[in-house]
Structure 1
């Protein structure tokens, strides 16, 4: 007779509850079946595990030593059960995210913090890259999720529109133009400007607006990131026109946000790797991203009233 899991299970039950009758009840089987399994286990191991006295099984020294090893095995199985239950309840696992810099200052941190409050055993991997690089990395299936300014994702990526709010004008505290709710290109004539690098597509659109209106700006600071632009504005370096997601993060510090008369939609896309293993946790994190998006846009709307 070869050693097998059922024989060990019967032995563990007898050692745990003390009698063959109680072990049979525990295992939902018959008393003879348990007794037979104990005899087969002794035959398979070559060990005398029990003394039989008046119908009772008295564990031998070999049984006690063997039971210590069995408990370790069952402890491992219990842990596997706990892991499985945790996975079923979406309580453990990992999610990897890569995002454009515009979302890295506060947005993704906000989403991640709220997500981890709900799923404490989950780990997150977060990276920040330019949108073209994000497209390449997602095509290579390196991350589960991405949020980027990306319009032509490769076929190995599932793309969904994420947001398209209007860009906003941001001003330092107590700026004279802060009294107005809507600012036009003409209102900004001669203003000191903090602007994004000339390779930024939104910078090109903005330049076109002012060029067509014949409006001169004093371009005093160039920076590649909207968060840097907001920091410069907050310190009084000038005015900037940026996306509302970044602007919202600076509102608690006193940044002023105003509507810009020209329509400059800030379009972003949610990307998901098509060939990475499916995970409920990824779906849950995507849900948190949408909730965070809605919160940010609601805050922006209130600031623009």
Structure 2
């Protein structure tokens, strides 16, 4: 059944949820209580299920109403972002740029890029969040974030890719390990015979493309340590004298914490990074400028890592 609703009905529904009563919603919307009641009733008729049950003098959303509210709230977040965009376009400068980034990028690479635009544009406001890739993609599709910096194998369905690149994983090594003073790529096929590795969820990321299944199983079989993120993996490399396979951005963070070094890997295991948005057309000029700055910076970093690893095309 096709649902026919209008924005005013959704506003009344949202206000009633937030206020917990028709009276509060009417005051928030500056309309009469009967008008709010009628808007809610029309919305329920169109939706085909009750949105509220009366509890005392107030209203409580039904299970269906709560599910419906999640979608409505996401829509209004998108409207709020469009209003911010309209303001940015009107003033030709300034505005807010909200960014969600994976942890490996959020600590070093992202602040570098932000600082360049931040210092030259005093009217631009940044809102930065560190999340995992699935959460970032969801937030982008809901228009809760302008830009997302994600790390997994393409494709990224439901969003527009503004920039993407890939880089080889590296091997994290304790600085007092015999391998730390040697140079050149390490061979995982050789190391797996003598060394112990940290794994992630007792496995290795699917985004490590082209890894031999037998090698992956050997690495897993020699692991007694499983972690959920790279900072913890880096700490265990330092403290437990084990090895880890890491993306170079996380590896740099671990090196800055001290006690570890990293070397390139003979086997090319690929780490993907992409900048995404809901639609390029919805971004402000400042946001697009940031994407260009960040893309140039990140690609320069990737080129250096690839040259070091001997994997440059």
Please classify the TM superposition score into its range, dividing by the shorter chain length: 0.5 to 0.7
Q: 2:188 aligns with which of 178, 181, 185?
A: 185
Q: 2:126 aligns with which of 100, 115, 124?
A: 124
- 1:191 to partner: Cα distance: 1.1
Q: Secondary structure at the match of 1:267?
A: strand
CA distance in 1, matches of 2:111, 2:235: 18
- 1:170 to partner: Cα distance: 1.4
Name 1:153's counterpart in structure 2: 156
CA distance in 2, matches of 1:177, 1:256: 9
Change (3 A) 1:275 1:187: closer
CA distance in 2, matches of 1:204, 1:293: 20
CA contact (8 A) 1:98 1:147 kept: yes
CA distance in 1, matches of 2:274, 2:88: 33
CA distance in 1, matches of 2:198, 2:88: 53
Change (3 A) 1:250 1:272: same
The reply to whether residue 237 of structure 1 matches residue 269 of structure 2 is no
- 1:226 to partner: Cα distance: 1.7
Name 2:171's counterpart in structure 1: 169
Deviations 1:158-202 (A, max 9, x none): 114521111111112132112141111233123121222247424
Matches within 5 A, 1:80-99: 87-88=91-92, 90=93, 92-99=94-101
Q: Secondary structure at the match of 1:120?
A: coil
Q: 1:208 aligns with which of 213, 230, 253?
A: 213
CA contact (8 A) 1:192 1:217 kept: no
CA distance in 2, matches of 1:263, 1:287: 27
Structure 1 unaligned runs (5+)?
Answer: 1-82
- 1:216 to partner: Cα distance: 7.4
Q: Secondary structure at the match of 2:160?
A: strand
CA contact (8 A) 1:116 1:122 kept: yes
- 1:225 to partner: Cα distance: 1.2
CA contact (8 A) 1:190 1:217 kept: no
Aligned length: 219
CA distance in 2, matches of 1:86, 1:261: 53
Name 1:222's counterpart in structure 2: 226
Deviations 1:194-223 (A, max 9, x none): 2222474247976835257x5676323221
CA distance in 1, matches of 2:196, 2:96: 45
Q: Secondary structure at the match of 1:256?
A: strand
Change (3 A) 1:217 1:169: farther
Q: Secondary structure at the match of 1:258?
A: strand
- 1:112 to partner: Cα distance: 2.0
